[in-house]
Structure 1
Amino acid sequence: MRDRWAREQVLGLAPDASSAKAAGGVAKPAKWGGTGCDDEAVWGECQGSGKSVYRACADLAGPAFRCSCPSRKFPCKHALALLLLWSDAAVDAGPRPAWAAEWVEERRERADRADRRRASAAAKTRDPKTAERRERRVDDGLAELDQWLRDQVAHGLAAAEKAPYRLWDDAARRLVDAQAGALAGQVRGLAAIPRRPGWPGRLLAEYALLRLLVRAHQRRDELPAGLRDTVRSRVGFTVPQEEVLSGGERVRDLWAVIGSRDTAQELLSTRRVWLRGRRTRRPALVLSFAAPGTSLDASLVVGTEVDAELAFYPGSQPLRALVADRYGPAEPGMPEGSSVRGFLDEHAAALARDPWLDRWPAALGSVRLARDEGGGLYAVDEAGDALPLRMGDPWRLLALSGGGPVTLSGEWSPRGLRPLAAWHEDEGTVVL
């Protein structure tokens, strides 16, 4: 029988604090019937309001969740409550009912079909003529982007402040047609730069980074192998997962899951999970994607540590990785935080290797919260060094710290640190 998860690990799957709280109210054995579990899944039927009975099932390998309730959250409170009961040993092993067996089997079949599609796509990409045609299209698209960038600077940035989004969308669409999808996303994102004081300087800096990327791609044959891989990735050339797993750099460590953030763009949801190795002190980023109606990978839970071997994608600053092998279940744990100066030194070294880095994970130890005269919130370490925090609602973090020190993790960008999780001496792990 699979080892049961700790309660903290289950609650770490909750999409928000309200779902975790609601699950606690539903996790009562009297509300459930037909519960059971085996090595792969947990299932049960929950009595809802009125005469409604909701069937919930969790695939432990994903993990993935299904519930017949109308909630649009993944996982919903019923799936979380079922896992809480399982964690507390209130769900016994038993034969899988037909409705649960059918769902788990469908998931396995979909995964097999997806693997076959990826293998077919990889084989098509490896065709020399197909690859050559794409290289030519990308070269032409980047040459057009180079001229567009020079035109924007030559005409001045004053008009761009009131320009419609179409200015950047049109340029992005041409890059999509040229099969430079990643670069198209960067260009489209320029339209979202806030029109605040100093906005033209920010836009000019983004234009400069795009021009640097264009020039680097045009001179890719002269670049070191790692930097060439980074440039190709930033433009939109992908590396199949099979190649990463077979030939990527492998690093085994006890990886602390320090933060997770979900974003939605058009018809695709993305989850970024940040890890940090306890022995190597190395950061890693694990990405997962989901189409509407499907759930994101929830196997890496914030506040846990997992003994695993990661396979890193190639690049001058390897950061994105795949979980290649696990050596045991995840256990509760917290990262070893650094000072603000130590973090900034690490980020500066990473930026020197990859000047297009837009996010970098931070894990700060023993920091307190403080405000400046303008009301801005900062994380201040024991040496008095500070980082600006970027968050919409700071009250949960303020209430957690209570003026005391916490270990704080987040995503660092030029706009500040976006907190993702905090560790408190009494409260444990809190996902922000």
Structure 2
Amino acid sequence: MPGFYAPASAGIFPADLTWTEEQARALLTDSGTLKRGLDLASPTKWNNLGQTAAAAWGECKGSGSKPYQTSIALTEPAFKCSCPSRVFPCKHGAGLLLLLARQPQLFGGTTPPAWVAQWLEKRQQAQDPKITKATPNSVEAREESLTTLHPAEESAVAEDPAKTNQALQKRLSRMAQGATELEDWLLDLIRAGTAVAQGQPRSYWEVPAARLIDNQLPGLASRVRELPGLCHSGPNWPERLLARLGELYLLLRAFQRLDHQTPEAREEILQQVGVNSKKEDLLARQPAVADEWQVVGLHTEEEERLTVRRAWLWGRRTGRYALVLEYAFGSQRFATSLVPAAVYAGELVFYPGLLALRAIPVALRSLNPAPPNVDPPGQSPTELLDEYATALARHPWLRQWPATLRDVLPTYLPPDDAWVLHHATESVALPLRLEAETGWHLLAQSGGQPIQVFGEWNGRTFHLLAYFAGE
């Protein structure tokens, strides 16, 4: 059975839960913590190292007389350290995890010290009980769950629940006004032409985006802020700009005709314009899907002051993909610890919508040791294009579509300095989105033979996130 690998840009991960340095690095999203952790990943800096199936621990020499007591709950993972740092994991936790990945034989102790056992016991006691779901008893309750109010409005509602409907109508009115203003701006932009758009200053795009934020349409504001970048995205920028403007206008018009949409489309449109369900409401009205969820792809990127992570999970029994989208501010950790190639047992709750891809974890626990590896079923590039066309027809604002491709070979195109995926028997070639060194690494790992890969298709390029190769 083939093993699981990830591209060089994301690290190389094995099919089981044996910790590797690349897995550890994937968890340490803060570059400063990673750098300091690498400095501490040395045996000379640690004493009393040990591990069990549940935890690893050690004492790190510091500037004081007492060493820092550091421990890791391996199945989460979670970190605990006696140092005063407010960063989680701290540099000692990062160093211990990296050392465990590099030299696990050093962790000879098998009986957790008292301070480790007490921490693990407290964590066990603090585990949340299984969520009891309540069903909304009215259409009005469901409508409220779809709409997140402005903080000032939430305060007013908390003081007087009778003001809920009034606050909701006030927001909807403000949103309608923002949509009308955006429509006028878009029509003016199209009349002026794309050549004029390319020369506009930043304020030309920021003013309407700020107005959309004021009118509580953050999803539309984000799409407007993407437009100036397209004006300098290469020789085909007019085509890309027009396509994105058309997508934005379609979303705007769909929102303006919200009452005429199907329930699934209404849910999707509200999410796209920035009206998200509260987690507790979503858990109350959506069924949970239980499965063994395998992490098949992770992508992390910076967005202003936030770190955004897209984690793609694949249900080994249900055979469906799930997107867990999370944000972390500064050096904060993501709410859910997900390790590449790991398998988690538990439940996901999917957001309602046209395709129902995005999900939130209810309760996931890592399986250690991991069950035998099962690769997601692959498809050919032609099958992917057909499937994507069907999905796009149903969800015209789709940005990433998960796909596992079989029997493909990475090929370098010297004149364009680009990489494509060729299929063994088809003439279709998909442009690859990756760094040049990743392409050569991928080709070397394949050994010149067709392989299976996982990634995101956006209609133009295939963003490689992982690949599966033989022994």
Class of the TM-score when normalised by the shorter of the 2 chains: 0.7 to 0.9
Q: 1:297 to 1:367 in 2, by over 3 A?
A: farther
User: Given the alignment of the two structures, is residue 418 of structure 1 paired with residue 418 of structure 2, yes or no?
Assistant: no
Q: Secondary structure at the match of 2:347?
A: strand
Instruction: Give, as a single letter, the amino acid of the residue that structure 1 aligns with 2:99.
Output: A
**Structure 2 partner of 1:304:** 342
Instruction: Give, as a single letter, the amino acid of the residue that structure 2 aligns with 1:134.
Output: R
Q: 1:16 to 1:323 in 2, by over 3 A?
A: closer
C-alpha distance in 2, partners of 1:75/1:390?
34
Q: 1:143 to 1:160 in 2, by over 3 A?
A: same
Q: 1:328 to 1:87 in 2, by over 3 A?
A: farther
**Structure 1 partner of 2:402:** 361
For 1:170, which of 193, 207, 210 is the aligned residue?
Answer: 207
C-alpha distance in 1, partners of 2:296/2:463?
13
Q: CA deviation at 1:344?
A: 2.0
Q: How does 1:305-384 map onto structure 2 within 5 Å?
A: 305-326=343-364, 329=367, 331=370, 333=373, 334-372=375-413, 374-384=416-426
C-alpha distance in 1, partners of 2:176/2:20?
47
Q: 1:409 to 1:73 in 2, by over 3 A?
A: farther
**Structure 1 partner of 2:217:** 180
Q: CA deviation at 1:300?
A: 2.4
C-alpha distance in 2, partners of 1:74/1:243?
38
User: Given the alignment of the two structures, is residue 79 of structure 1 paired with residue 122 of structure 2, yes or no?
Assistant: no
Q: 1:172 to 1:72 in 2, by over 3 A?
A: farther
Matched-pair contact (CA < 8 Å) for 1:262–1:270 = yes
C-alpha distance in 2, partners of 1:83/1:132?
55
**Structure 1 partner of 2:57:** 43
C-alpha distance in 2, partners of 1:87/1:313?
44
For 1:161, which of 191, 198, 203 is the aligned residue?
Answer: 198
C-alpha distance in 1, partners of 2:91/2:188?
45
C-alpha distance in 2, partners of 1:191/1:174?
17
**Structure 2 partner of 1:241:** 279
**Structure 2 partner of 1:138:** 175
C-alpha distance in 2, partners of 1:277/1:382?
27
**Structure 1 partner of 2:450:** 405
Q: Secondary structure at the match of 1:310?
A: strand
Q: Secondary structure at the match of 2:334?
A: coil
For 1:258, which of 296, 299, 303 is the aligned residue?
Answer: 296
Instruction: Give, as a single letter, the amino acid of the residue that structure 2 aligns with 1:403.
Output: G
**Structure 1 partner of 2:429:** 386
For 2:234, which of 190, 193, 196 is the aligned residue?
Answer: 196
Q: CA deviation at 1:236?
A: 0.5
Q: CA deviation at 1:310?
A: 1.7
Q: CA deviation at 1:325?
A: 3.8
Residue by residue over 1:229-272, the C-alpha shift from the partner in whole angstroms, topping out at 9 and shown as x without a partner, is: 00000000011111222222433333321100111222221111
Residue by residue over 1:2-42, the C-alpha shift from the partner in whole angstroms, topping out at 9 and shown as x without a partner, is: xxx8315775342299979x9799475x7532445689754
User: Given the alignment of the two structures, is residue 295 of structure 1 paired with residue 340 of structure 2, yes or no?
Assistant: no
Residue by residue over 1:338-377, the C-alpha shift from the partner in whole angstroms, topping out at 9 and shown as x without a partner, is: 2212222222222122100111112112211113453421
* Higher mean C-alpha deviation, range 350-359 or range 188-197: 188-197
Matched-pair contact (CA < 8 Å) for 2:72–2:93 = no
Q: 1:249 to 1:281 in 2, by over 3 A?
A: same
**Structure 1 partner of 2:46:** 32
Alignment TM-score, normalising by the size of structure 2? 0.75
Q: 1:167 to 1:59 in 2, by over 3 A?
A: farther
**Structure 2 partner of 1:429:** none
Residue by residue over 1:137-180, the C-alpha shift from the partner in whole angstroms, topping out at 9 and shown as x without a partner, is: 11111111111100100111111112222222222111111111
* RMSD value, Cα: 4.0
In structure 1, the gaps of 5 or more residues are 110-117, 427-432
User: Given the alignment of the two structures, is residue 225 of structure 1 paired with residue 263 of structure 2, yes or no?
Assistant: yes
Instruction: Give, as a single letter, the amino acid of the residue that structure 1 aligns with 2:98.
Output: L
Q: 1:313 to 1:43 in 2, by over 3 A?
A: same
Instruction: Give, as a single letter, the amino acid of the residue that structure 1 aligns with 2:25.
Output: A
C-alpha distance in 1, partners of 2:429/2:93?
36
Q: 1:198 to 1:10 in 2, by over 3 A?
A: closer
Matched-pair contact (CA < 8 Å) for 2:55–2:74 = yes
C-alpha distance in 1, partners of 2:284/2:105?
35
Instruction: Give, as a single letter, the amino acid of the residue that structure 1 aligns with 2:182.
Output: L
In structure 2, the gaps of 5 or more residues are 1-15, 128-147
What is the total number of aligned residue pairs between the two structures?
408
Q: Secondary structure at the match of 2:268?
A: helix
Identity percentage of aligned residues: 33
Q: Secondary structure at the match of 1:237?
A: coil
Q: 1:387 to 1:77 in 2, by over 3 A?
A: farther
C-alpha distance in 2, partners of 1:295/1:173?
29
Alignment TM-score, normalising by the size of structure 1? 0.81
Matched-pair contact (CA < 8 Å) for 1:38–1:96 = no
C-alpha distance in 2, partners of 1:135/1:39?
52
**Structure 2 partner of 1:112:** none
User: Given the alignment of the two structures, is residue 94 of structure 1 paired with residue 112 of structure 2, yes or no?
Assistant: yes
Instruction: Give, as a single letter, the amino acid of the residue that structure 2 aligns with 1:367.
Output: V
Q: Secondary structure at the match of 2:433?
A: coil
Residue by residue over 1:412-432, the C-alpha shift from the partner in whole angstroms, topping out at 9 and shown as x without a partner, is: 213401111112212xxxxxx
